[in-house]
A and B are shown apart, each in its own frame.
Chain A
Amino acid sequence: MISRTNRHGVRRMALLAQWATAVLITVAVFAPAITAQATTPTAARSSTPAHKRVAADAAPGAPVKTIGNRNAPITMEVFSDYQCPSCGSFFENTLRAMIQDYVANGKVYLVHHDFPLQMHTYSGQAARWATAAAMIGQFQDVDAALFDSQAKWPVDGDIEKYVAGAISPANFKRIQGILKGCAAAPPTSKADRTVPQVDPSCPVDQYIVQDIVLGYQVPVQATPTFIVHYKGQSYPASSGIITWPILKQFFDTLLSQ
């Protein structure tokens, strides 16, 4: 029979053992990560932003689907589909405010990547219009026009009308000239991650395919997906609609480092 004093002693020992286990497990969980963080050289963990990798391979006269100053401290790469409702909402409620505020002030450099989804009938065609506009330096206006009229052109695929309304007639003619040979179906991302065919007679398709392949590498699992780069480091990709106040808070945290 165990006396009351012994029973208290056993309980105290058991409690002590539990706390010791707690401390040991906590150390075991946190220590490897802390050590790894301390020993891995910074350069080994940094990655080159995808748009810079593209720029290195791009031919002269390649489309520039970017907004802002390329020397801005923060670079944000967005993989988007012009027909995806979440992408439209993200553009209207977050990116528009960001462009007016942080891109205009030289804090953020915005890089657009086309990631047209196979399930959207006209998103590949919209990507062609945006890429052609980027080839003549009219990307920002056409990009905004495509998102602004997102509820309209997917009805009948008449994208031309909305692009024409966003730029001058002369520039519209130049874009039409670029897209003259684009008769085949536009490239779209595939669920099985196969690289889509490039139509050799369509000068913009190779750039759309380049964006899709970059998206596969991220990997983009849904649109919109974005990656933020700061001081040579890439932060994990985020998907979905993030509101501007929360995204701004993240940027401010980075800039205050």
Chain B
Amino acid sequence: MTQNETRRNLARTLLLLGRLGLAAIFLFAAYAKLKPQAAMPWSGSSIKTSLSLFAMQVDSYQLLPPQLVSPAAHFLPPFELCLGLWLLAGVLLRYASLITTLLLGAFFAVMVRTYMAGLEINCGCFGPGERLGPLTLLRDGSLLALALAVTIGAFLQGRKRRTESAPVPPVSAPQRAD
């Protein structure tokens, strides 16, 4: 195995691990927001209650007007679930990772703004009960860095694939220099 091949395999493995890591995080985040609270069993009603509880966490960021809080809270967890499954599947990874990076970037910006404003609220990142603080900022910043790395990796891999599969121009016979 040449050095180039080893490097390529390592890059591929890192990309796979990064993608699976992000997928697991998004699946868990969606699950934590949708899971029934208190002692309720899984049902439409329990999911509705969990989403209402999540809406309170979204509201506590004091970023959106009340009429937008509920739609945002009802959209985010299913979107995270779909994004997690998309990342796991690895189909059109460039787009999946780009959307992930943009989403994590938005989350991180909102969290930094809230922390700087001195609001002492729950993060709401992985369900209720986690306070927004330096540790949550560090964690979300690391996730953003990982998403960025996966996006760059996915775009580089895509470019390499395109270059490899491009038709080779016909080679003309060398002219004899008489």
Give residues in A with beta carbon < 8 Å to B: 15, 18-19, 21-22, 25-26, 29-30, 33-34, 37-38, 40, 42, 45-46, 86, 221-223, 230, 233-243, 245-247, 249-250, 253-254, 256-257
Q: Which residues of B contact A (CB under 8 A)?
A: 23-24, 27-28, 31, 35-42, 45, 48-49, 52-53, 55-57, 59-60, 62, 66-67, 69-70, 85, 88-91, 119-122, 127-129, 131
CB-nearest residue of chain A to B61: A240
Query: What is the interface of chain A mostly: helix, strand, loop, or mixed?
Result: helix
Asked, given contacts A29-B28, A33-B31, whether A242 binds B39 with beta carbons under 8 Å apart, the answer is: no
Determine whether the beta carbon of A240 is less than 8 Å from that of B119: yes
**How far apart are the CA atoms of A240 and B128 in the complex, in Å?**
13
- Whether A241 and B48, one on each chain, are in contact in the complex, defined by CB atoms closer than 8 angstroms, is no
Q: State which of B42, B59, B131 has its C-beta within 8 Å of the C-beta of A222.
A: B131
In the bound complex, what is the Cα–Cα distance between A230 and B36 (angstroms)? 14
CA distance A250 to B66 in the complex (A): 13
User: In the complex the two chains form, is B70's CB within 8 Å of A236's CB?
Assistant: no
The listed residue (B41, B85, B122) touching A26 by CB distance below 8 A is B85
Are the CB atoms of A45 and B122 closer together than 8 Å?
Answer: no
Q: List 8 A-B contacts (CB under 8 A).
A: A18-B90, A34-B42, A234-B38, A235-B37, A237-B129, A246-B66, A247-B56, A257-B45
A239 engages B49 (CB within 8 Å): no
Name the residue among B38, B41, B85, B131 with the largest chain A CB count within 10 angstroms. Answer: B38
A37, A45, A236, A245: the one contacting B42 at CB < 8 Å is A37
B75 to chain A, nearest CB (A): 15
Q: How far is the CA of A243 from the CA of B68 in the complex (A)?
A: 12
Q: Which of B35, B55, B88 contacts A246 (CB 8 A)?
A: B55
